Structure 1
């Protein structure tokens, strides 16, 4: 595919905007804990996205009805992992940990993806991936321990980090299943159907816990979550992949911990400490190393 060279120079802004939107959403998730329950904002988020997409998706839904009927079970599973377990647990984690820690833990999705791929795809990591995982996990433990390894023994103080780890683990399943199934469905149709299932999955929790009312204190957070991280950021990310390619685009995800920390520092007055810097550096180094491919073996030829 040929692209305008001038547009290519501006294409770098696409993944940067996506990362900023997702990072800001982590801060919004932390901020809104005082004003709305995790179940409520998670449900409202997907409801807003569903309402916005419906006028555009209904004709496409009818046109692709055969594909949807063929793959609806897989879309239902993807919705459970990516939109309910990951997002729902993230909103719960925000009640017990900082946005800074959430951003750093979120950076471990590539490492968790490698581990999940072993079980679902039988793809065994090379030596670089194994070393990268070890380096990343050491950085993760440093952040959770707040710079002092003895703190790991006080299990009660890490509830939010543990919940966020579970969320990231489930999102790794989401990514691996997408790769395993490789559904030939237009992306926004896939997202729309997944949102539909996500709303269905929320209903038992809504009936049990109830819904908080939308008010002046939480309405903008709900609208932001439904519009920007749910719809705008994925679209910008897809455009970035078209212009820059998947490998170059994926590198920008390593900026999320730093961008999230900057937003949390300016908006939520969270502190960025030395152990955050070291942990983030180890996380990024591990992820970059894990993406390195082992050199192909050269077979000797004898005459």
Structure 2
């Protein structure tokens, strides 16, 4: 009787650990802003991941090139949205907002995905999705205005929060394109090729802006970003999707604002305020309602 219980707990632990790793990466992204440019950490992150995967994946990709080649354009698009625009804009947003706000806004991925699905897949959202999205958006506006909507309107918004909203919007496109195409390519090979495209996309920016040197202050953040959120968390998430299903797995993403806020509070000494509590509850409640089917 004990074995099934242990197995169930391990299955639940997989998406929780993945979300914890991604939450930690948001805090790392905010922490490292003083030590390395957004272009540099983004490039180094994918370079580290590419170098780690190459001994295991290069030969497999060569062997399966006939199956991969017809999908190169799709993999290039996925890389652009999921690895370059999403993460690159998020690294830039970290210079202008807090990790706590970034974590809260990141929770909007399921809501934005609903509307991108409507645009691309012609998947009309139900009334719960519409109402839940509006509720979540109200909570987001409340957080961005720090509890004062009038001040937000007068100031025109906060650049970092606006950039993070754009980043999350890009990631929603990534998820919808994955669903639309459903590429018949092994997941790790797909990840490896996408990372290769990400490095190519970075080259013009690297040549234009240059690269910061990896040193003792930014090196650990680069290594963490290149290994844990880039390789380990996606693998855990993919296993969770296979074992407990995509719908049950996606709900765990709602823990990201909580994990990020706790990490930011203890590590970055960011304050958790009343408006974060009120806005966060409203946002998560709206997201849960938006995912209701009937």
Aligned to 2:29: 29
Say what the alpha-carbon RMSD is for the aligned residues: 1.2
- Separation (CA, whole Å) in 2 of partners of 1:148 and 1:184: 49
Q: How does 1:84-233 map to 2 (within 5 A)?
A: 84-155=84-155, 158-233=158-233
- 1:8 is displaced (CA, Å) by 2.1
- Separation (CA, whole Å) in 2 of partners of 1:167 and 1:53: 26
* TM-score (normalizing by structure 2): 0.97
Is the Cα contact below 8 Å between 1:8 and 1:243 reproduced in 2? no
- 1:154 is displaced (CA, Å) by 3.9
- Separation (CA, whole Å) in 1 of partners of 2:154 and 2:195: 38
- Separation (CA, whole Å) in 1 of partners of 2:10 and 2:78: 33
Aligned residues: 292
- Separation (CA, whole Å) in 1 of partners of 2:45 and 2:292: 36
- Separation (CA, whole Å) in 1 of partners of 2:66 and 2:280: 45
- 1:86 is displaced (CA, Å) by 0.1
Secondary structure in 2 aligned to 1:282? helix
Is the Cα contact below 8 Å between 2:87 and 2:167 reproduced in 1? yes
Is the Cα contact below 8 Å between 2:144 and 2:157 reproduced in 1? no
- Separation (CA, whole Å) in 2 of partners of 1:160 and 1:215: 26
* TM-score (normalizing by structure 1): 0.94
Aligned to 2:282: 282
Q: Give ranges in structure 1 of 5+ residues lacking alignment.
A: 295-303
- Which is greater in Rg? 1
Query: Per-residue displacement from partner, 1:188-237 (whole Å, max 9, x unpaired)?
Result: 11111000000000000001110000000000000000000000001111
Aligned to 2:79: 79
Report which stretch shifted further, 56-65 or 256-265. Answer: 56-65
- 1:4 is displaced (CA, Å) by 5.3
